[in-house]
Amino acid sequence: MEIYRGKRLRIETFEVTFPGGRKKERVVVRPGGAVAILPIEEDCCHLIRQYRHAIDRFILEAPAGTMDEGETPEETARRELIEETGMAAETLIPRGYIFTTPGFTDEIIYLFEAQGLSPSGEYAMDEDEVIEPLRVARDALGEMIRDGTIVDAKTICLICRCFGW
By annotation, the residues acting in catalysis are: 127
Which residue type sits at 85?
T
According to DSSP, residue 18 is labeled P
Nearest C-alpha neighbor of 95 from the set 156, 31, 32, 29:
156
CA atoms within 13 A on the CB side of 153: 7
Cα distance between residue 137 and residue 40, in whole Å: 10
